[in-house]
Structure 1
Amino acid sequence: MLRLRLCSSHPVSGDNEHLGTSAPCISGPLGMQNRAIPDSSITASSTYSSYYPRNARLNIGNYGWRPRYTYVGHWIQVDLGKPTAVTGLTMQGRYYATSYYVRAFSVQHSLTADSNDWQSLSNDGGQAITFSLSNGAAKNVTFPMVPIARFIRILPSLWYGSCYNLRFEVLGCQVPDDGSIKLVDGDDERSGRVEIYHHGEGASWGTVCASDWDINDADVVCRQLDLGAAVQANKASEYGTGDLPVVMNKVACEGTESRLADCPFVCTAYQQCNNSDVAGVVCLPKLNTIRLVGGSNCSGRVEIYRNETWGTICDNKWDIDDATVVCRELGFSEAEEAKMGAYFGQGSGPVHMEGVACEGSEEALGDCPSQCWEESTCGHAQDAGVVCRYDDDNILGGIGAQ
C-alpha cells in the first residue's frame, strides 16, 4: 500500500545549512566597502583604542579593526540582515601590507547568532578549516562549502607582528526567502509556470505538480505575489516544464492562505509527479495597478486597472506632479515630462480618471484626487502620458512598461 506524507509548510530551519560547493545566484561583494552593510551590523569581541569594527571595511581608511588584546579567541562579525549564500571573503591588513596582518583564520556562521547556533566552516571530515594569508595585501578567499547564514564571524589564529589590523569584504549573494515563488515563461508578469524556492537540502527552485491543482491554489499564488485574483489554474504545463525538479504535489489550499508553502501538499519524495503536468496560473492585476504603454521602458501612455479592465487617464489638469507620482510608483526616481494629447498614441476602453490632482508626494496614482463621481467627457485624443527619468541605479525602473 502506498503511503503519502502531507507537508504543511517549508519553514526555514533553525540549523545552519549548506548549499554545496556553489551558490544559486551570482556572487559578489555584499556591502562592506560600499557601506551597504551599516556600521551597527559590524561588531567584535573587543576593540583597541579607536580601531573600531566599523573601520574594518575593505580599502577604506588605513588600519581597520584591531582587538584590545592580541591572543587567539578574538573575533569580528557581520550581520548580513537575512539568510545569505556566503561564498568567501576578501581579506586585507593595514595600508602597508608587510606587517601586522592576519596570517591564518577560521570562519564561523550562524542564522540566529545564538550561542549554540554558531558552526565552524568545516571540511568533509567535520574539521574546522584554517585559511592562510601570506601578506596584508587584499586577497580573495573562496569557501569550499557555501553556507547559508545571516551572521559571519572571522576568528584570527595567527598573525605577523605583535598585533594585527583587519579590513575585509564579505562575498556572496542573498538567496530568496524560504517559500518564495515566481511565475516563469508567461505572457506577462501575471502569468506563468509556478516555481517555489525551498531552503532544504540542495536549496533551490522547484516546480509544482498540477495534480489536483485548482483555483484556490492559484488564488494563493496570486495573493503571495501581490497580484489580483486568479482567473486560471493551469494544469497541463502550458508554460513549459522547465528543468527543475517537482517539489510539491497535490496541493490543497483553502484559498485563504498567505503563502503557497502554508498549504498542505504531498511531498514529492514520497510520491513522484509526471513533470509534463506542471502547475501554472493567470492572475488579474490588482486594483489601481498602473502601466506605461506605447513608449519605451521609461515612458508611455499611462493606463490604470479598474473595474476589471485597463483604461487611460484624461490629460485635463495633467501636470508634472501627477507624472512624478506615476514614475515613482513604477520605481523611477522622478518624472522628466508630463505628456498630453495622446503623445504615445490613443488607448482603448474606458477613460478611468479625469482631473487628476496629485500633490506629488503620494505613493500611488490611485491615492490622488480626481473627478470620481462624474463620467469622463474625455476622448482618447486626450490620453495622458509620462517620461520618467531612467537611472542606471534604478532597480524597479520599467516594471510597468508594456
Structure 2
Amino acid sequence: MWAQQEAMVACTQLGFLGGWTIDVKTPASTFASQCVSDFDCSWPERNLQNCLGSKVVTDCTNSSLPAGVHCYSSFSVHLMGGAAPNAGRVEVQYDDTWASVCYELHSTSGQWSFDNALVVCRELGFPGTMFAGQGGMGQGNRKASLYDYKCRYAYPSLRECLPRPPIILPSQYQGPSCGPGSSGLGNEAVTVCSVPGYIGCFKTKSNTKETSHELYLDNQSMTVRKCRNHCRGLGLQLACLYDGNMCLCRETVADYVNFRDENCNFECTGQELETCGSSNAISVYNGKYK
C-alpha cells in the first residue's frame, strides 16, 4: 500500500516538512530491477523502513508503477475573511501555493472537525477553539483546494493531519474556491478561535451552578466582555459563562472538572462569534481582559 501516511513519512525522513502522494506513469522497471511493496505506516512514524512488516522484495514487472511523492519544505496557515483576527476561513500555504481548506468532500464526507479547528487555533497562538463551521466568510483561492483533514487532538500542526493531495484547478476556472457545499453558505472550512484570556471549558462536579445574586448576571444579550466587566467590578478573577446568557463570577475553578472545548458550544446571545458555555458546561475567561 502507498497512501498519504506513507508519503508523509518518506518526505519527513528526507528532511522535508511533509508531502503528498503523486501518480507516476513510468513503469518501475525503468528505474530498478527490484521493488519493495506492502508498506503500512502509522503517522507520526518517522522512518519508512519501520513500515515494512514482511519487507516484500520482488522483481519489477513492466506493469508495476512506482510510488511517488511531492515533498514540501515550508508551511503556514491563516484565517481570512472574519470580522476579527480569531475568526475566518482556513487557508494554508505549502511552499509557494496558497490553497483553500474545504469543509467537506462532495457534500458527504471529510467534514472539517472541531479537532481540526483546535489544531489551527493552537498553531496560531490562540488559547482554545469556539467553532468549526462551514462557509459564510468569503471565498478563498479559486485555483487550489484541500479536503479531508483528520487531526488528532494533540497534533501540533495542521500539516500533520494528512489531507488528500491538493486539487489544482485550471487557470480559467471561475467557480467557488471549494465547490458547492451542503449548507448553502459555501464550502470553505471556517474556524473561530477563543479570544485571549480564555482559560477553558469546564463542568461542575455537582452539575449545578451557583445563583448568588451579587455573583450572578442574566443578560439576554450576553457577551464575554459584559461578563468580564461585571466580574471585574466585583473584584473577582474569573468570568464563567453558561446557557448562552448566564454569567457567574468566581475566584477559582478548583472544584470544576476539565471539559473539551467542543462541549462549550452555545453561542453568546449578544455575540455569535463567542461561546458562553452550554447547558452542562461553563466557558471560563480571565476577567482582567477588556
More helix by share: 2
Q: TM-score range by the shorter chain?
A: 0.3 to 0.5
TM-score (norm. length: structure 1): 0.29
- Larger radius of gyration between Structure 1 and Structure 2: 1
TM-score (norm. length: structure 2): 0.39
